[in-house]
């Protein structure tokens, strides 16, 4: 197992990746039940490449260097345990980051082949990481490729990071086997999506009309949008807290802020508002 570099806190530091046992999946290893989405992936091929499951890379001698970007340490630890056993998976996690600035620093310093990128990050989100790493993605000889790995399955999140340059988007309900397979496919130049998410991308790029700006939605922070979607889907406060790794009190604060900003009275009005905008 190699060392995983993490820019944690004000100064960058080296951190040895632990050899934890395999979990049942990337999302399960972090203790998250995940948003709606299937575990497998849909492949949009640009080149005929062999995927393989967990162990395929290690057994064939292939190796992919990966940086993991997510603001939840528990989730990063779970993913590292699931895919980071290099001899078995062929995946070497060479760095970790928890926010936008850390991500850009680590990615620039390590030049991985694939970055697993969360959509919602402190400092501007995954789209900001993509914007600042655009020169690395454009490198003709050794491009850095990005695979979004997020709890969100919202169309706007999927389309945003794909427009930003990511090669694929999978949800955190994905299994470890499928995640390793997706990493190798993205490294080979393929585009990979969790099953129903590919339709969002096809619809978006089939239209020449720019999406209208929703001023009401723009008033909400990324975290408030996450809470909004989960409330609209019928989640209880405790379920949302577990899903987002925050306290119930924090969930209540976010809900109050959303209701105030949207000038709504209760969660039933909020659900109707979200449904009308196809955010559920």
Supply the range of the domain harboring residue 224. 215-276
For residue 269, the domain's CATH number is: 1.10.10.10
Q: Which residue has the higher pLDDT, 47 or 256?
A: 256
CA separation, residue 75 to residues 29, 112, 233, 253, 260 (Å): 7, 20, 23, 24, 31
Q: Taking residues 144-152, report their average pLDDT.
A: 93
Q: What is the number of structural domains in the chain? A: 2
Residues 201 and 148 placed together within one structural domain of the fold: yes
Would you say 197 and 172 are in contact if contact means Cβ atoms under 8 Å apart? Answer: no
- Residue 227 near residue 255, CB atoms below 8 Å: yes
Q: What does the pLDDT look like over 215-246, one tens digit per residue?
A: 777 788 888 888 998 888 888 999 898 888 88
Domain boundary among 189, 206, 223: 206
Listed residues 206, 229, 254: the one ending a domain = 206
Are both 69 and 179 inside the same structural domain?
Answer: yes
Give pLDDT tens digits for 97-106: 999 999 999 9
Q: What is the pLDDT of residues 178-213, one digit of tens each?
A: 999 999 999 999 999 987 787 776 666 665 454 555
Between 8-12, 81-85, 147-151, 173-177, the lowest mean confidence (pLDDT) is in 8-12
pLDDT of 175 reads 92
Whole-model pTM: value is 0.59
Q: Kindly state whether residues 22 and 158 are assigned to the same domain.
A: yes
Task: Report whether pLDDT(17) > 90.
Answer: no
- Please check whether residues 123 and 241 belong to one and the same domain: no
């Amino acid at each position: 197992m190699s060392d995983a570099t993490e820019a944690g806190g004000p100064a960058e530091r080296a951190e040895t990746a632990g050899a934890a046992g395999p979990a049942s999946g990337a999302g399960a290893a972090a203790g998250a039940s995940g948003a709606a989405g299937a575990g497998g992936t849909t492949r949009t091929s640009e080149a005929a490449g062999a995927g393989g499951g967990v162990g395929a890379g290690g057994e064939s001698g292939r190796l992919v260097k990966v940086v993991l970007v997510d603001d939840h340490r528990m989730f990063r630890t779970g993913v590292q345990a699931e895919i980071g056993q290099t001899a078995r998976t062929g995946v070497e996690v060479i760095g970790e980051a928890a926010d936008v600035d850390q991500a850009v620093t680590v990615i620039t310093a390590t030049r991985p082949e694939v970055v697993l990128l969360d959509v919602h990050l402190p400092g501007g989100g995954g789209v900001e990481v993509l914007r600042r790493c655009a020169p690395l993605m454009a490198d003709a000889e050794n491009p850095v490729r990005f695979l979004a790995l997020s709890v969100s399955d919202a169309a706007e999140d999927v389309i945003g990071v794909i427009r930003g340059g990511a090669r694929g988007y999978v949800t955190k309900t994905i299994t470890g086997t499928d995640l390793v397979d997706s990493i190798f496919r993205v490294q080979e130049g393929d585009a990979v999506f969790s099953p129903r998410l590919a339709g969002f991308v096809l619809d978006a790029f089939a239209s020449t009309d720019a999406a209208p700006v929703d001023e009401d939605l723009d008033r909400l922070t990324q975290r408030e949008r996450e809470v909004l979607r989960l409330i609209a889907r019928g989640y209880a406060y405790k379920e949302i807290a577990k899903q987002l790794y925050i306290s119930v009190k924090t969930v209540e604060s976010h809900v109050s802020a959303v209701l105030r900003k949207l000038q709504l009275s209760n969660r039933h009005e909020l659900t109707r508002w979200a449904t009308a905008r196809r955010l559920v």
